[in-house]
Amino acid sequence: MIQNQPIGVFDSGVGGLTVAHAIRNLLPQESLIYFGDTAHLPYGDKSPESIRHYSEKIAGFLLDKGAKVILIACNTASALAYEHVQEFVGNRAKVFNVIDPVVESLAGLPNLHKLGIIGTKGTILSNSYPQKISMQYDDIEVISLATPLFAPMIEEGFIFDDISNAVIRSYLSYPAFESMDTLILGCTHYPIIKNQIRKFFNFKVRVIDSGQIVAHQIKDHLLESGLASTAGKAEHQFFVSDYTEMFEKISEMFFEEKITLQLNNIWK
């Protein structure tokens, strides 16, 4: 029964688990199949051609595993490979990205005037967020900043310590962010350090991550299309293309339960 097939989620590493975690909490009856492409992380400094190649291959893997929905839980891949994956997948599954839902959600926010966006080099250079925002809103000042050390810092376990605080302070002291009222975390790794980022701004800046927003969009789709699971118990699977002990440690810390990683190097 297609309703009981899993939701497929992929990212370059541990970051997409922030979105998978939100989906699990909102849709506890839905099974998840997660693929972290740790063999190629971070995606932020890869070419657009490479990102599209990786994304297509992983989408094929998730389809082979029976995914009824595929979520590109990576801002860089969402910016550079979303249309490509849509074309590849066709009518075999609905494809979601983590950028469009966040942009759409801005419509309901009060007192939004100066908006900051932080992300990988790939996401920021794609100009995807500013372009999409300018098409829908004409009264928001947008300031973008590449923060390429954040994702590898998190993947290596440097969080909640002096090193991460120093890196956060170095980036977010960006003068153009002065008087900013809202900040988009344009990388799914970044919610892991969301509280540190909020603290840097003395909790006076509204910080937006995609997890809950995307989870609700997927829920709406499943209900509207009659694809919501009827299974009594969800079963989750977690795959990585290259095993690292730190990935497993951070995954369990963030997902709040024991995670068994399965190594599947689809590139061989």
Q: pLDDT at position 169, please?
A: 97
Q: Is 223 a catalytic residue?
A: no
| Domains recognised in the chain with CATH numbers | 2-97+211-263 (3.40.50.1860), 100-208 (3.40.50.1860)
Among the options 32, 73, 74, 180, which is catalytic?
74
Which residue in this structure is represented by tokens 């969080």?
A: 159
Catalytic annotation, pick one of 7, 146, 187, 215: 187
The reported pLDDT for the residue numbered 176 is 97
Q: Are 102 and 208 in contact (CB under 8 A)?
A: yes
CA distances in angstroms from 76 to 51, 86, 153, 188, 196, listed in the order given: 8, 15, 17, 10, 23
Do residues 18 and 189 make contact, with C-beta atoms less than 8 angstroms apart? Answer: yes
Task: Write out the chain's pLDDT in tens, 268 residues.
Answer: 689 999 999 999 888 988 999 999 999 999 999 999 999 988 988 999 999 999 999 999 999 999 999 999 999 999 999 999 999 999 999 999 999 999 999 998 999 999 999 999 999 999 999 999 999 998 999 999 999 999 989 888 888 899 999 999 999 999 999 999 999 999 999 998 999 999 999 999 999 999 999 999 999 999 999 999 988 789 999 999 998 777 787 777 767 777 888 999 898 7
74 is catalytic: yes
